[in-house]
Structure 1
Amino acid sequence: MFFKRKKLSEIEFAAKFLIALQKKIKGIEVILINDLEITTKYKGDQSMHFLDNAYSEYSRESKDLKNIINKYVDASAAMYTDRERKISIEQIVPIIKDKRFIAGLKELNPNFETKHIYEPYNSELYIFYAADTEYNIHYLQPNELAELGIKKDELRQIATTNLKNLLEIKRHGSETLFMIIAGGTYEASVILMDIWDKETFPVYGNVVIGIPSRDMLLITGSQDSEGLHKLYDMVARTNEEGDHLVSEQLFELKDGKFELLTLNN
C-alpha cells in the first residue's frame, strides 16, 4: 500500500531549512524561529532569513523539497561567506520592489534604512541596489557604497549599465500581449532600460506593463481592451499564487517613465 506524503507545515519546512543551514555554516546560532522567519547569529552579527518564497515553491512542487532546500540554503550561506569578500562595481544591479516590501522591512526593523540603499522610482515602486554574487543577491549597505567610492546619485546609471551587460533580453508574444524573457531574475528591472519604443512594442496606445514578480514583465497597450484584461488577470493570479512578488499594480509609460495606471487615463 502506498501512502501520500503529507505536506510540510511552515514550521516543519523552516526546521528542515535550518538543519541544512547549520550543516553548511558551522557555528551558526538560532535566535528565533517565527514560522517562515528565522533569526540567526554568526560571529557576533545577526541575520534574518525569510522563507516565504522558498515555501511557496515547495507548495507548488512538493516532490522537489531537497533541491529547493539546498538552493535557498546555498543562497543564505552566501550571506555569511560574502562578508569576507569584496564587492565590485561591476556586480551592482537594480532590484525593483513596491510599497509592500518597504512596509515589510519597516515592520521587521524600523531602522532598515541603515542596511539598504534605495530610492523611489514612482508613487508605487522603489529601486533597491544590490550585488549579484555567485549564490545570492546581496543588498548593498551604505558602508559598502563608501568603500567602493561611489556616490548615491551615480548608482542608477552604473546599475542599469551592468544590467544591460548581464542580460540577454528576448520579446515573446503578439500585439495584444508581449512578455519579456531575460533569465528569470531581473525581468522587472528591465523597466529601467532604454528599450521602450513603438518599434520594439507596437501596441495599441501607450505601453502598459505588469510586473507581478521579479521574473515576469508583461506588456500591452492602453487602448487594447483584450490585452488589458489578460494583463490584469495574469498580474492578479501571480500575486495570489506566485513567489518573489513585485507589484499588484499596472503601469503606463508616460514621458519615458512608467507611472501608476489610473482608470481615468
Structure 2
Amino acid sequence: MKKLLHIILGLFITGCSSQPKVLTESQYTKKYVKIMEKKYPNVNYEIIEPLVLKATYGENGEVTHYLDNSYREYKLDPKEIDEVIERYSNASGDVYNKDKEINVNRIVPIIKPSDYFEQLKTLGNSVKDYKIPELIWEPYNEDLIIVYAEDREESIHYFNQEEFEKLEISRDSLLEFSIDNLNSVIPKIEKVGENGNFGLIAGGDYEVSLMLMTDIWTKENFDVNGEIIIAIPNRDLVFITGSNDKEAIEKLKGTVKESFETGNHSISTNFYKWNGKKFEKI
C-alpha cells in the first residue's frame, strides 16, 4: 500500500537513471509464461497475443489469463517485476483446481465499474469461442456494480451461477452476508491523512469494497468539510474529502485521473457522495 501513502502525502516517485528499462507487453508476456511453465509444469500455455495467455490442463481444463492488470502494476515500479509476477502467478493455482469447494464464510462483495462485463467481452475478443462468465452480481448505483467472489489464500475466485446454486444461500441475503464476511476477511482498516482529507488502507484488495460498510461512513470517523465525498480510481485506492472542500476536490481530480489511467484494477474517475445509506455518483 505504499502507492496510496505516496499519493496521499504527495510523495510521488519519479523515474531516475537507476530505474530498469520497462519491458514491452510482448517481452513481459514471454517472461510471465516462462515463470508459469516452471511453476505449473503440467499446464500447457499458448500466447494468444501480448498480455493474453490460454492455459490447458487435465482432460478438459481450459482458462484464459489476462495479464493487463499485472503489467500495469509492474510498470508502476519495474524493479518489482519478480514480486509482481510471483504474486499474480500464484493465484493461478486455485484457477486450475476447479473442484475446490467454496468456503461460504469467505464470500465477499467486489465493487466493479458498470461496464465490467463489456470489458471482459472486449478482452475475450482475441479468444476463439469466448463466453462472458455468468457471475453473480447486482447493481450498486448508476455507475457501479457489486460482483460476488470467494476470497482465497492466493486469489479471488469469481464463482458462476452453477457454483452459487450449490451453496444454498439466499440471493436476497447475499449482500448483507458478504459484507459481514468482509469484516473478518480484511486484515485491518487503517485511516491515513489529516485536515479533512483521508484515505483508507485494508490490505490491497478490498479498499473500495469498504464503501459498502454503512456503519463506518460517519462524520465521527471522517471529519470533513461538508458531506462525505469519495473517489475510487482503483480497487486499492479510496480518497475521502468533504463536499465543501473545493480546493481538495480540484487537486484530487488530477490524481484520480492519473491513478485510473496508470494503476491496475481501475474502477472510476468519478466522485461519489454519501447520502446516509449509500454512495451516489456526483
- Establish whether residue 72 from structure 1 lines up as the match of residue 92 from structure 2: no
- Identity among equivalent positions (%) equals 36
Instruction: Provide the rounded CA distance (Å) in 1 between the counterparts of 2:40 and 2:99.
Output: 14
Map residues 165-244 of structure 1 onto 2, 5 A cutoff.
165-167=184-186, 168-194=188-214, 195-244=216-265
Mapped pair 1:24 → 2:24 = no
Aligned counterpart, 2:266 = 245
- Counterpart in the other structure of 2:159: 140
Give yes or no for contact 1:24–1:77 (8 Å, CA) kept in 2. Answer: no
1:60 to 2:76 alignment: yes
Q: Deviations over 1:137-159 (max 9, x none)?
A: 01021122112111222211111
Q: Give unpaired runs (5+ residues) of structure 2.
A: 1-17
Alpha carbons of 1:131 and 1:248: their partners in 2 closer, same or farther (altered >3 Å)?
A: same
CA contact (8 A) 1:177 1:231 kept: no
Answer with 233-242 or 189-198: which moved more: 233-242
- 1:161 aligned counterpart, secondary structure: helix
C-alpha distance 84-23 of structure 1, shift in aligned 2 (>3 A): farther
Take 1:205 and 1:50, find their aligned partners in 2: how far apart are those partners? 41
Q: Name the count of aligned residue pairs.
A: 257
Give me the whole-angstrom Cα distance separating, in 2, the residues matched to 1:89 and 1:72.
23
- Equivalent positions of 1:122-133 (< 5 A) are 122-133=141-152
SS in 2 for 1:149: coil
Q: Alpha carbons of 1:90 and 1:224: their partners in 2 closer, same or farther (altered >3 Å)?
A: same
For residues 42 and 257 of structure 2, the distance between their equivalents in structure 1, rounded to whole angstroms, comes to 42
1:112 aligned residue: 132
Determine if contact 2:196/2:223 at 8 Å carries over to the other structure.
Answer: no
Whether the 8 Å CA contact 1:219–1:231 is kept in 2: the answer is no
Distance 1:13 1:113, change over 3 A: closer
CA RMSD of aligned residues (A): 2.0
Q: Quick one: structure 1 residues 151 and 106, their matched pair in 2 at CA, closer, same or farther if it must change by over 3 Å?
A: farther
Alpha-carbon separation, structure 1, partners of 2:152 and 2:247 = 40
Where structure 1 has 5 or more consecutive residues not aligned to the other structure, the ranges are none
Q: Counterpart of 1:120 in structure 2: which amino acid?
A: P
User: 1 CA distance for matches of 2:198 and 2:238?
Assistant: 8
Letter of the structure 2 residue corresponding to residue 162 of structure 1: N
Query: Residue 281 of structure 2 aligns to which amino acid in structure 1?
Result: L
Q: Please tell me the residue identity of whatever aligns with 1:189.
A: S
| Alignment of structure 1 residues 7-46 onto 2, 5 Å | 7-43=22-58, 44-46=60-62
Deviations 1:100-132 (A, max 9, x none): 423211332784252x11111000101111111
1:158-213 per-residue CA deviation (whole Å, 9 max, x = no partner) reads 11001112232122222431111111211000000021112111222211100111
Q: CA deviation at 1:93?
A: 0.8
Q: State whether residues 175 and 220 of structure 1, in contact with CA within 8 Å, keep that contact through their aligned partners in structure 2.
A: no
Give the TM-score taking structure 2 as reference length.
Answer: 0.84
Runs (4 or more) in structure 1 with deviation over 6 Å come to none
Contact kept in structure 1, 2:117 and 2:132, CA below 8 Å: no
Secondary structure at the counterpart of residue 35 of structure 2: helix
Query: Within 2, Cα distance between the matches of 1:65 and 1:234?
Result: 24
Structure 1 residues 214-246: Cα deviation after superposition (integer angstroms, max 9, x where no partner): 111111111111221132222112012211212
Q: Secondary structure at the match of 1:84?
A: coil
Check 1:45–1:254 CA distance in 2 against 1; reply closer, same or farther (3 A cut).
same
Q: What is the one-letter code of the residue matched to 2:234?
A: S
Alpha-carbon distance in 2 for matches of 1:26, 1:152: 39
